[in-house]
Every structure is written in structure tokens, then in C-alpha cells.
Amino acid sequence: MLDLTALFISSLDPTSRKIANQTLHSLSQQPGFLPHLFILIINPAQDRPAARLAAAVYLKNIVKNRWDDDTNPIPPAYQAAIRAGIVPAMISLCGPTDKALRAQLLETAAVIAAFDFPDRWSDLMETLAASLSGSDYIVNLTILETAHRIFFPWRSKIRTDELHLTINYVLASFLEPFLTFFRSSAALLLSSPSSASQTLAASMVEATKIFYDLTSQDLPLAIEDAHAEFFKPEEGWFTRFMVWDPVDLSGDPDDPTPSLPDQLKMTTIELVELYLHKYPEMLLKTKTVEAIVQIVWNVLSSGELQGAKDDAFVSQSLHFISTVIRSNMYKHVFSSRETISNLIQDVVMPNIGLRGYELQQFEDDPLMFVRQHLAIPGTGDAATHRQAAADVLRALVASGAEAETTEVVDTWIARGLAEYENDRDGVGWKAKDGAVYLVGAVAAKDATTQYGVTATNALVDVVEFYSNNVFQDLQAPPISIHPVLQVDAMKFLYAFHAQLSEDQLLAVLPLLQQHLKSENTVCYTYAAIAIERILFVRRGTELLFTRADICDFAPNLLDLLLSRIESGGSAQKVAENEYLMRCAMTVILTARQTLTPVYEHVLSRLVNILDIISQNPSNPSFDQYIFESISALIRFVVSGDPNTLAVFEEMLSGPLAVILQQDVEQYIPYVFQLLAQMLTVHTVGPPTSYRGLLHLLVQPPVWGQKSNIPGLVRLLKAFLAKDTAYMVESGSYVGVMAAVQRLISSRNNDTWGFKLLEGVIVNIPGSTMKQYFRPLIMELLTRMQTHKTDKYIYHFTRFFMYAFAIQIDNTNPDLIIGTIEEAQQGLWTNVLKNVILPQVSKMPPRDRKLTAIGLTRMLTHSEKAVEPGIVNAWPLAFTALAKLFREPQHLKSSPQPSSDADAEIDFTELDYEEQTTGYQSAYSRLAASEGPAIDPVAGVEDAQEYFVKEMVAWKEPSKGALISAADQSVAGAVVATLKEAGAV
């Protein structure tokens, strides 16, 4: 075995990374690699911590990708060795410098447990319980973190018998030692707070999380019986945690991480919220809610929690108060006007204003400020103290105290505006900032991130407030007012754009364009965000603004946005502001063909930006938006002028080839999609310039990266459609068939295998394909027998319906039926009766028309379907088809857009985790590169009319007898229609 340490060090160096990773991939397929890898990770004698950490990450990724893989799984013996060794390994890595290593192994253990626990890892709970120590809290912390990672998914799972059995399995062996540990550790923590160690406190945080995990589905009897011990005011463990605050564990005031006492309080509050939702009667018995409300009220009103490290605890506490207000069981506690007024004064108002550290962040880390403060009141994204304070107001409004709450808040708003008028040049801007935020908080009743505020408090005139107090700040020159107020104005516009008229929104676009020129990063970023949202405003199902509305200023707007992006300089700085790139993308999507006069200039700048960021990809969101921008430019410009495709091909071929040559793996899936898009719209002559790619596309290694597969399938389908003759003459389609078989044999990739197979069937002549049909069909049937899933049955059935429905030379139902019958007599009848026909009624509406036409052609265009031994299935297929006709609305062609350029683009948002945790292996689809869905049977307008016509034309002598043998209770109406048409 080569020197793994040196290989992993090389994998961290950009100059040697590619070769090192290729070598590691090759070694990982060899016997003995995983034991060597494990030894490297846990061996303290290694003096290269970076290599050990890289090895731990590599192990985690191997486990994620191959533990339950059906094509290249980790051998069972190695799996058993890893299961046996991973918990002891984590315990051995308990030194202060081992935290990162331990975290990787912890994640690896959680992945294994998701697959194997409890069936194949039956001793895990005993191992964890036996490892809990009465004194070594470094070990305890490791054990508790492991248990929590394994139990955590229970919180969000739907209750099933299997989950119930797993939880009971855990409770039987883990609950008693865990509760014993909890009690002794909590007593130790609270008895001498001055001597409480960080590891003890951290262990109690994890233990409280586990308490939540164990009660997230049901209340174990041992915990239910001891409820008062844990929840009784002043005496219960959790209520005592809420007032535990040793000075020596208060943490660094400049560190934004909450202190351990605050973390313990936050997990306690989360737990009480769980009980409030699931076991409220238990809390009523002990009056726990009232006690904790009083504790957090006192803490929040003290004015002492002003630091960055306090923000998470303050937000959690405010969220708890909102949850209690929304609970009908405690509505009476907050019903009086006096209580509402005191709550707003003591709890809400101290947390509405921006803190000192936030103003510092506004200047020093502007993009972090934007990301943390962007949430719209009402979306539930209470990430900061002021968002959580706003949610308290929303809870009061929703609880039935709308009038009282609005009246009290109006007083504070008026006070803030008056203070601003009296001190415009001093600190009065802070008062107006708070007033504007209060309006947003009390006015927003319902909101979404995509559409902004969708329902408002009828007692608040949002439009009037905007006209009198907000619009003036949008108009003000940048240096005339504090930038926070201009940001407030743009955020107000972002939140309440749905309440403003089309004229008001159009009037503000030039102002926002001016704010893009601001020297303040937060200001120009919010301007981009507001423009993007306005351009995506809908009235009903239609976009409010079209290309005609922005064609005059779209080029200048793009110039400002791209100039801002380009000014970053380095790869990381250029890509750091995804809001600018998203806005540029939206401008392109809105302006569409009107950008044709400037498209070469825009494309050149986009390509230059791509060239810079490809040197060091760092922001997945930015990457998605720049590739979408390029794709949208291709889509709309080429649809208006097909001659421009050659320019796109020339300008993109070099940069895309460099990405492939340099193996920039984050971008390769996008490259395949762009190439597929351009090849699909290629109409002039054979696409010879693309043919050099074919050899790469059919090589197994390129399919090893899962995120490549969808783009590869689209690109190969484009080759099959656009260069059919060359694919046949050169034999390239054989490599495509090999890819089809690899994909279909995989449970993870079979969907893409069937999509690619459809491209083969519809383009490669049946006479050419006949020799490959038998091994293909046998592969399909073998997979059905060995790894059948509901998804596979659907795709299997759809494939046969597709193959039957399409009307192309040398391909007909008998080609497939005959191939199956050649393999084994009677096999087709078995497949039809037991797999296909039971699935027909389950086909989703989008596939009903295709299915109906496929069955119709099988019934009327197959000589083999009426041969002895097979014919007895004919009436069953007729009956299944008749069932489809009961819902005729799904059997007609859907309206198609007049052109590709007029089609809607369905964008899929990157989820929060993908935006914040780096690159994922998941496929990032380019929505703009995909045209409208193609109807493979577009030539048939109405499937039911087509069926009647084909039955009339079918001259089978036994037709009447076959129809009579169908289930008349199902098919009676269809038979009557056929008789009227003279088909019977």
C-alpha cells in the first residue's frame, strides 16, 4: 500500500490534488485499504494532523457513498470491522486537538447507524451505555454526542411501527443508565457551580438534547413518572438549569458562540416547547410554563444581554414566549391590555433596535449582516433578536389581541418617528429604524420568503406608511441620511412589494438602480435583492413585469451589477455576493430577447467572471446563478435568432473545455447541461464540433460522480437526437447502451437509466437495436426480480408504455413482446399481469395519456398479443385501459407555449444547508437550460378518441369475443362507445 499520509497531504495541495485523488480512488477499491485508512486516522504517532483529518473525511465520504451501494458496496467484513471499531476510536480521540477528527468519525457513525441500527448493529446501545463514566466527562461528551446524532432524526420522523420498535429497543438498554447518568451529572453541575468544568457543562447540554430525542415521539413511562423531578418550578432539574449562570463559564464577550450555561438554557427551552406541543397536560400539573415565562421575562427586561454571544439565547427565549402566546392553554396570561403593554415595553422594545456589534458588522462584515437580517417578519425565520421580538408581536396579533397590540405598538412607532424628526442629524436615525421595523412586525400576518408579506393587519395602512415615511428614504441621496435607514426602506419594499401597485413598483426601480452605485455594501446588496424580488412579482399566475417594462434600462442594470461583481478581484471575493448574481440572472430572465443587441458583451463578461471563480469555487449559490444566467441568455437570444448559436458555441467552447480538462468537479455538472442545451437547439448541419466529447461521455469514471449523471444523460440524449446517423455509423450508441445498463442496475440512478433508454428507443432504428434488446430486457427483468422498488416498477411500466406508444420505423409492440417471449415462453403474460397492469391505475396524471396510447397500440397493433398463450391477457389489458378512461381530463394534450422563449422557467431554490455547508454531491439543475416538457405522443390530441379510431381500424376476427371477455362492470361504458362507433 502506498504512503497514505503523503497522498492525503498531496490531496490538500491544489497543484497535486487531482492526481492524489485519482490515486486514492484507485486504492480505495483494493482489499485492505479501509483498515489502513482507519489506522492512519486513530494513530496518535502520526505527526501530520492535516493528513489524519483528510483521511477521516475520506472515510466518511466512502461510508456515505458505498455503505449501502448496490454496485460497489463496502465488503461485509470491513463493515463489521468499522462498526466494531468506530466507538472505541472516538473514545480514544478525546484530546483537545482531536475535536475535528472526532467530529468526522461522529458523522461517520451516524451515517452507519442510519443504515444498520439496530438490525446489523445490535450491540451499539450496550456499548454506549457501558462507556458512560462517573468521572471522565471527556469520554462522556463523546458518547452523548454519538447517541444524540443517532437519535436526532427521530424528532422529525413520522411515527411508524418500525420507528416505534427502534425507540423501544433503545429505551430497553439505554434509558435507565442514561437517567442515572443525568441525575448524578446534574447534581454535580448544580452543587458546586464554581468548579463545574466545561466538559461537564457540555455533557449536560448533550444530555438535555438526548432527553428531547427520547421524548420526541412518545413519553417513556420512567420519564413520565419522574416528571416533577425534572420540571417542577425551582426544584426540577430543568427549571434549575434556567437560573444556573456561573461567571467562570460566561465565555468571551467577543465570541458570538453562546456560553455553555446559555446553551443549556436554550436546550431546556426547546424541550419545554416540545412538551407544550405534545404533552401540555404534564406542564399544567407542575405550572412549569408560567415559571419559565417569568424567568425569561426577567432576564430579557434586564437590558444586560447585549452581546453577540447572547443573541441566540435571547432569540430562543422570545420564541418561547411567542409559542406560549399562540398556545390556547395560556392565552389568558397575555389577554389584558396592561400585560400586553408591559410585555411590549419590557421584552419586545429592548430587542427591536440594532445592537452595537450589529452596527459594527454592518460596516466590517456586510454580507453576514445581510444574510442574518434578511428574514421577513412572518416567515418564521427568527434568526436574530429583533426578528424574534417581531414574532412576539405577530403572536399577540394572531391570538385575538390585534386591536390592543396595534394600539400599543402605534404609540411606540409615533414616539420613534418623533424622536427622529427632533434629531435627524444625530442618533435619531436609531429611533426611526426601530419604528420602521415595528411597522413591519405588527403589519405582517402571513409571509413567505418568495412572495413577501401576503396578508396584513387590517389596522395598519402599510401603503400610507410607505408613502409618508419610507419612500422619502429611497429618494434621499446616499450621504444625506444614515445608510441603515436606506437599507430599512429597501427591506420594507422587499417585504411589502405585494401590497404596492404596479406603478409604485415601476417608479422605484430607477431609485434602486441608483442605490446599486452606493459605496455601502449592505445598501447596494439590498438594492439588488429588492430589484430581484420586484421583477419576480406575480399577479395571480402571471409575472407582473415583462421584457417590455425593463428593456430600456436592462442593459445598464446588468452593467452595474456585473461591474460590482467584477470589482471583487480574487476568485473568492468575486463570488462572495450571490445576491448580485441572482439579480443579474433575474434581469436576464425578465428582459429575454430584448438583450440580443448586447448579448455578446454580456456573455463575454459572464465568461470572464466564470474563468475567475473556477480557479477556486467557493459559493455554490453564486455558481448556480451564473450558470443559470448563461443558460438563460442562450435560451432567449437563440430562440429569437438561431444564428447566434454559433457565437455562443464559439465563446463557450474554450472555457467549458478548460473546466473539463482541469476537472473542476463542482462545475462539470453545469458544463454537461450547457452543452446539452446548445446541442439540443443545434439545427444547421451535423454537430461535428461536439463529437470529440463522445469518447469522454461513455467512460465509466465520468459516471462515478453522481452529480454528473443527469447532465450526462441529457447530453447523450441530445447526441442521439441531433447526430443519430453518426451515433449509428460510429457505433457510439453501443457505449450509450452500456451506460443505460449500469444506471438501471443501480437503485439510486435507475430513473436516469430509463430516461436515457427512452432517448435510445426513439432515435436508434429498431433494426439496429434488435440485437441489444434481449440483454436489455433481461437486465430489466433481473433488476425487477432482485431489487424491486415502487419507483422501479413505475419506471419499468412507463418504459413499456413509451416503447409501445411511439410510432417510429422498425419499432412496434411485437419487437418487445417477441424478445421477452424468446427468452422464456409465457414470460410476457406473467410480466403484463403481475407488474404492468397493476401499475397502470397508479400512473401519475402526467403519464396517463402516454399509458393509454401505449396500451391502445399494444391491443391493436400487436399480432403476438392475440397469439395462443398470450391472448388471455388481452381482456385484462382492455379492462385496465377502461379504468383510465374514467378520468378523461388526464388523457388530452396540455396547452404548449407558443415558443421556448415564452415558456415559464421553474426554478428550484438551493436549500439553506446547501448554501451554507459547501458543495454537495446533489445535482444542481439548470432550470433555464430545460425547455418545456416534450410530449412523446404529441400527435395524439385525445387518447380516448385515438383508442376508438384504432379499435375501428383493427380487423381482428376475434375482436368481439375479446372485448366481451373484459370485465363489463368496468368496461361497459367503453364498450358502448365502441358499439356506437361501429368498432364492434
Residues 6+ positions from 278 with CB-CB distance below 8 Å? 215, 219
Q: What is the DSSP string of 725-740?
A: HHHHHTTHHHHHHHHH
Residue with cell string 443519430: 724
For residue 43, name the pLDDT band (cuts at 50, 70, 90): confident
Strand, helix or coil for residue 942 = strand
**pLDDT-wise least confident of 258-272, 285-299, 803-817, 845-859:** 803-817
CA distance 604 to 650: 11
pLDDT of residue 908: 42
pLDDT of residue 47: 65
pLDDT per position as a tens digit, 180-229: 999 999 999 998 755 568 999 999 999 999 999 999 999 999 999 999 99
Opening angle at CA 364, ends 359 and 366, nearest 5: 80
Single out the residue of 720, 648, 643, 728 nearest to residue 680, CA to CA.
720
CA distance 542 to 902: 12
Single out the residue of 705, 699, 792, 712 nearest to residue 745, CA to CA.
792
For residue 921, name the pLDDT band (cuts at 50, 70, 90): very low
CA distance 578 to 855: 49
CA distance 702 to 696: 7
Tell me what the mean pLDDT of segment 660-671 comes to: 93
* Helices of type H across 745-807: 750-763, 766-786, 790-805
For residue 362, name the pLDDT band (cuts at 50, 70, 90): very high
pLDDT of residue 917: 34
CA distance 155 to 149: 11
Cis peptide before 118 (omega within 30 of 0): yes
How far, in Å, are 428, 588, 678 from residue 546 at the CA level? 40, 11, 25
Relative to beta strand 444-448, strand 452-456 is antiparallel
Tell me what the mean pLDDT of segment 877-886 comes to: 95
pLDDT reading at 910 higher than 50: no
Single out the residue of 700, 713, 712, 621 nearest to residue 671, CA to CA.
712
**pLDDT-wise least confident of 428-442, 469-483, 849-863, 913-927:** 913-927
pLDDT of residue 194: 56
**DSSP assigned state of 355:** P
How many Å separate Cα 471 from the centre of its chain? 36
259 vs 917, residue with greater confidence: 259
Tell me how long the chain is: 984
Give the three cell numbers for residue 304. 444586560
Q: Exposed, middle or buried by CB within 10 Å (0-12, 13-18, 19+), for 921?
A: exposed
pLDDT of residue 918: 38
* Helices of type H across 888-940: 912-916
DSSP E strands: which ranges in 639-687?
Answer: none
pLDDT reading at 418 higher than 80: yes
Opening angle at CA 27, ends 23 and 29, nearest 5: 130
pLDDT per position as a tens digit, 592-651: 999 999 999 999 999 999 999 999 999 999 999 999 999 999 999 999 999 999 999 999
Q: Half-sphere exposure of residue 508, counting CA atoms within 13 Å on the CB side? A: 29
pLDDT reading at 507 higher than 70: yes
Q: What's at 283, amino acid-wise?
A: L
CB-based contact 823:779 (threshold 8 Å):
no
CB-based contact 207:182 (threshold 8 Å):
yes
Single out the residue of 712, 796, 804, 731 nearest to residue 762, CA to CA.
804
CA distance 583 to 561: 8
Give the three cell numbers for residue 951. 379499435
pLDDT per position as a tens digit, 464-501: 999 999 999 999 988 889 999 999 999 999 999 999 99
CB-based contact 447:377 (threshold 8 Å):
yes
pLDDT reading at 414 higher than 80: yes
pLDDT per position as a tens digit, 327-358: 988 988 898 999 999 999 999 999 999 999 99
CA distance 531 to 589: 13
* Helices of type H across 327-425: 337-343, 356-364, 366-373, 385-398, 402-422
CB-based contact 658:651 (threshold 8 Å):
no
Using CA of residue 967, residue 970, residue 976, residue 981, what is the dihedral sign?
A: negative
pLDDT of residue 904: 57
DSSP E strands: which ranges in 536-656?
Answer: 538-539, 542-543
Instruction: Kindly report the three-state secondary structure assignment for every residue of 256-290.
Output: CCCCHHHHHHHHHHHHHHHHHHHCHHHHHHHCHHH
Residue with cell string 498531496: 10
Give the three cell numbers for residue 979. 358499439
335 vs 416, residue with greater confidence: 416
Give me the chain's average pLDDT, please.
91
Strand, helix or coil for residue 684 = coil
Single out the residue of 927, 923, 930, 910 nearest to residue 665, CA to CA.
923
How many Å separate Cα 511 from the centre of its chain? 34
Give the percent of the chain with pLDDT over 90.
76
CA-CA-CA-CA torsion for 291, 292, 294, 298, nearest 10 degrees?
A: 140
Single out the residue of 564, 610, 614 nearest to residue 584, CA to CA.
564
When mean pLDDT is compared over 12-26, 302-316, 417-431, the highest value belongs to 417-431
Cis peptide before 868 (omega within 30 of 0): no
For residue 57, name the pLDDT band (cuts at 50, 70, 90): very high
Q: What's at 722, amino acid-wise?
A: K
248 vs 511, residue with greater confidence: 511
**DSSP assigned state of 704:** S
pLDDT of residue 897: 57
pLDDT of residue 611: 96
Residues 6+ positions from 280 with CB-CB distance below 8 Å? 327, 329
For residue 765, name the pLDDT band (cuts at 50, 70, 90): confident
pLDDT of residue 558: 97
Single out the residue of 182, 292, 318 nearest to residue 233, CA to CA.
292
pLDDT per position as a tens digit, 587-599: 999 999 999 999 9
Q: Which residues pair with 447 in a beta bridge?
A: 453
How many Å separate Cα 269 from the centre of its chain? 28
CB-based contact 611:566 (threshold 8 Å):
no
Opening angle at CA 197, ends 195 and 203, nearest 5: 135
Backbone angles phi, psi at 447, to 5 degrees: -155, 155
CB-based contact 803:846 (threshold 8 Å):
no
Opening angle at CA 789, ends 783 and 792, nearest 5: 65
pLDDT of residue 934: 86
